[in-house]
Amino acid sequence: MNGISIIICTYNGKQKLEETLLAILKLKATFSWELLIVDNASTDDTAAFSYSLLSDSTIDFSILHEAESGLIKARLCGLKASKYDVLLYCDDDNTLDKDYIQIGYDLMKSNPIIGALGGCGTPVFEDEKPDWFDTYGHSFAVGPQAITDGLMPEYPAELYGAGTFFRKEVLLQYLNNGFKSALSGRTRNNLVSGEDVEWCYLIQLAGYQIWYDHRLVFLHHMPQQRMSWEYYLRLKKGISSGVCNLLPYSCLFRNRKMSSIFYFKTWFTKMSFALLIYFKLRILAFLTVNSSNTEQELAITIWREKLFSYWRNSIKSHKHFIQLKNYF
């Protein structure tokens, strides 16, 4: 059906959902849409709070329950329950602009080649903005995702999941044939991520495009407990931990007919490079042991996790590579 299914995946979101839901009640649209709230094993009465806030409204909403923890599980739960052809994943700490879904719907409807469409998150800080945020804030799903509107020039292109529209039929062509995601997404306090990038890759392998539009504006609330350098390092560790699971996609973008032998050659090259960079960084850190260098600390965290990812997930990623090849 033509329309948009807004999907909010939340774990213990009671304390932050109010602004998100109130903004959704103010959305303007000339088409049909629905709101699906996926309660991902919450323990704080998230579902009851959401129902109490929405029960007197006239919008079409449902509250779903996904007992198995993991963002990808919650996103798939919402996808399977959705009734419209365009999905909008809105985080539980996002506040959408009133014209957000109208702009997104118009773009998706007039450009059927679009498989995913992203916007621009504006950070809203609970307390003071950290000094390092302007340099590294993109990892928090904020800021412009391209210089110009329209087709993103990178290939493959990536969007952060917050505030992103997906064309459902493109994802269903994989999921209906038994496709299993290589990445679980965040699971409670585990910051593993990359499932949004994986969906962008799937969409492009299917022949669709990734677009960006600066008019798609939303506020992304930054709680103080996440605005520490220690949390940022955990976040980058989680992002880097998925690098090996995304390797099958980068290989297939290079060569749809790549053999397993060449896949393992690529894996070995990537792992060897990560090993060399990591040891180089460790040596430099040893030589500058008495100095404080956040850039160095960040680089060590990223490359250590990339190295561990290539080692831990080598067999799993090859199985995923074989699975993907069956679709092309």
pTM to 2 decimal places: 0.93
Element spanning 62, H or E: strand 61-66
Q: What does the chain come to in residues? A: 328
Residue 212 binned pLDDT confidence (cut-offs 50, 70, 90): very high
Q: Comparing 24-38, 98-112, 122-136, 276-290, which segment has the lowest mean pLDDT?
A: 276-290
pLDDT over 90 (residue 181): no
Q: What's the pLDDT tens digit per position in 71-86? A: 889 999 999 999 999 9
Considering only residues 74 and 186, tell me which one the structure prediction assigns the higher pLDDT.
Answer: 74
Q: Where are the beta strands (DSSP E) in 188-289?
A: 209-222
CB 25 within 8 A of CB 57: yes
d(CA 120, CA 163): 8
Mean pLDDT of 127-131: 93
CB 17 within 8 A of CB 10: yes
pLDDT over 90 (residue 273): yes
**How close are the terminal C-alpha atoms of the chain, in Å?**
27
